[in-house]
Amino acid sequence: MASAEGFTPARDASELIARLRDRTAKLAVVGLGYVGLPMAIEFARAGFSVTGLENDPQRCEMLHDGCSYIADIADEELRAEVRSGRFRATTDPAALGEADAVIICVPTPLRKSKDPDLTYILAATDAMTAQLRPGQLIVLESTTYPGTTEEILLPRFAEKGLKVGSDFFLAFSPERVDPGNPNFSVRNITKLVGGVTPACTQVAAELYRQMVGTVVQVDNPRVAEAAKLLENTFRSVNIGLVNEMALVCRHLGVDVWQVIEAAATKPFGFMAHYPGPGIGGHCIPLDPHYLSWKARLSGYEPRFIALASEINGSMPRYVVELVTESLNDQSKAVRGSRVLLLGVAYKPNVGDFRESPALEIIEMLHERGAHVSYCDPYVPGLSIGEHELRNEELTAELLRSADSVVVLTHHRDFDYDLVVRESRQVIDTRNATRPFARPGTVRYL
């Protein structure tokens, strides 16, 4: 069976593995977002011919012009792989049929009911099914509930009459990215791989060994799927615990930041987590709900996860309460007051504001009649309801004009000495201003 270009597919696992090892295998990455684009570029750097499948034609044009829309991929890095011919982007799903290995990196959001929304996975699976041929490896990287690979992808692929583990290979390998982290990238983060059959695991592991330093094989896709959810549920639960500790400490008149610092001096049995205005990003706020939903289908109600989610979800409202108290101390009402937010991204030094608690805080402040502005050099603009906000330059004049200044994201770009010196009152949810604080000027979470 040969393609229109005369390409002959691999006949079995050993032949596919050989092509992966000598870099003659063609790869395709479905979805060129925060996960897919860095993955595609790293495989191209490793010497593979990589085609990225992206629904947005404008994104494809940008990529072909060497313009990256992902902060972790510099324009120069992208241009090098485009010029070399090792990377290209397309909207044509026919590219999937020409690939030896296909990696699916599409979003997995939640519905309003907090149930998994597999729309993007289903669309990618249907596109792959239409192009599936013998000798291909398909790996799902999108975070999802345990069982998705075998319950959703496998039956659709099997409709083609091909046998998994011999005619084609299917595995799950969870994405592990930390946008904005200069110390960890796709290349040096350990990769988990779980295949539907041992042969599937072997082939998928060989794919990632060509680019990633350490690959760990697990028994099946369900283990890998559950491991990913545990990683982020662990963080959600521990953040929920320390957020509740912040509330407890407030009632006790104790500085929670000093409590954490003191507890962290213990060399064993304690891992420091820190409170904040809420949780954001695409993983921690969403992934525990995937695990909870699947558990409930199996007849078990995971109460601990739900409680952590409830506490974390309450933090934006708590921040608004702190703003209200701060304004009361100035004999001001929230309505008509000027509130300046420092940082609206969900984490430091990135422009990603998906699920950021700042969005909910802004919305609640608007509902109470406040005039809200923000400074965030990584986020040029925001649209929240009927309100359009633009990033403002952090100046002494802007700080002095605000009735309340709230630190939501600990960006390295902010001059916290200036913030404390020029602000009437600061509410610091990140402990960022501690070295510059003067008595009575800063309230901490």
Residue 437: the pLDDT is 84
Phi, psi of 152 (to 5 degrees): -110, -55
Annotated catalytic residue within 200, 249, 283, 375: 283
Give the span between the Cα atoms of 147 and 170, in whole angstroms: 13
Whether residues 165 and 262 fall in one domain: no
Pairing type for strands 169-172 and 404-407 reads: unpaired
What 3-state class would DSSP assign to 401?
helix
Shared domain check, 287 and 211? no
The answer as to whether 226 is a domain residue is: no
Mean pLDDT of 386-408: 96
Residues 141 and 169 grouped into a single domain: yes
Mean pLDDT of 357-377: 97
CA-only gyration radius of the chain, Å: 24
- Host H or E run for residue 216: strand 215-218
Structure confidence at residue 2 as a pLDDT band (50, 70, 90): very low
Q: In what order do the strands lie in the sheet with 371-375?
A: 371-375, 338-342, 404-407, 426-428, 442-444
Q: Are residues 198 and 246 in the same domain?
A: no
Q: What is the pLDDT of residue 11?
A: 73
**Mean pLDDT, range 82-100, rounded to an integer:** 96
Co-location of 90 and 190 in the same domain: yes
So what's the pLDDT on residue 4?
A: 44
Q: Let me know if residue 282 belongs to a domain.
A: yes
What pLDDT was estimated at residue 6?
55
Please tell me the total count of domains within the chain.
2
Per DSSP (E only), the strands in 275-396 are: 338-342, 371-375, 381-384, 387-390
CATH code, 413: 3.40.50.720
Q: What's the one-letter identity of residue 74?
A: A
Whether residue 215 is found in the same domain as residue 258 = no
Q: Say yes or no: 213 and 244 in one domain.
A: no
What confidence score (pLDDT) does residue 12 get? 83
Name the band, by pLDDT with cuts 50, 70 and 90, for residue 185: confident
Whether residue 8 lies inside any domain: the answer is no
Taking the chain, what is the end-to-end CA distance rounded to the nearest angstrom? Answer: 64
Q: Give the residue-averaged pLDDT of 399-415.
A: 97
My answer on whether 251 and 198 are in the same domain is no
Considering the domain architecture, whether residues 285 and 164 belong to the same structural domain is answered as no
Contact, 399 vs 289, CB < 8 A?
no
For residue 269, CA distances in Å to 227, 249, 263, 272, 376 come to 22, 21, 10, 10, 37
pLDDT of residue 358: 97
Mean pLDDT taken over the chain: 94
pLDDT in tens, 110-130: 998 889 999 999 999 999 999
> In a 3-state reduction of DSSP, which class is residue 285?
coil
Using 50, 70 and 90 to split pLDDT, how confident is the model at 186?
confident
According to the model, what pLDDT value does residue 273 have? Answer: 96
pTM of the shown model:
0.92
Range of the domain at 283: 239-444
pLDDT, tens digit (0-9, with 9 covering 90-100), for 139-157: 999 999 999 999 999 999 9
249 is catalytic: no
Q: What is the pLDDT of residue 57?
A: 95
Residue 3 covered by a domain: no
Asked if residue 183 and residue 244 are part of one domain, the reply reads no
pLDDT at 3: 46
In a domain, 391, yes or no: yes
Is 93 a residue whose pLDDT tops 80? yes
Distance CA 292, CA 151 (A): 18
**pLDDT tens, position by position, 297-316:** 999 999 999 999 999 999 99
Q: What percentage of the chain carries pLDDT values higher than 90?
A: 89
Among candidate residues 185, 219, 253, the one where a domain is terminated: 219
- Residue 71 has a pLDDT of 84
How many other CB atoms are found less than 10 A from the CB of residue 235?
17
User: What is the rounded average pLDDT of the residues 33-51?
Assistant: 96
Residues 103 and 19 in one domain: yes
Q: Average pLDDT of 232-258? A: 96
Residues in the chain: 445
Same domain, 186 and 314: no
In DSSP notation, 194-208 reads EESSHHHHHHHHHHH
Report pLDDT digits (tens) over 205-239: 999 999 999 999 999 999 999 999 999 999 999 99
Residue 351 CA, distance from chain mean position: 12
In a domain, 94, yes or no: yes
Report the distance separating Cα 272 and Cα 258, nearest Å.
12
Asked if the structure places residue 92 within a domain, the reply is yes
Last residue in a domain, options 165, 185, 219 = 219
* pLDDT for the residue 177: 84
pLDDT at 5 over 70: no
Task: Give the pLDDT confidence score for residue 269 in this predicted structure.
Answer: 95
What pLDDT was estimated at residue 7?
62
Q: Is residue 233 part of a domain?
A: no
Q: What pLDDT is recorded for position 232?
A: 95
Residue 403 pLDDT > 70: yes
What is d(CA 185, CA 266) in angstroms, rounded to the nearest whole number? 30
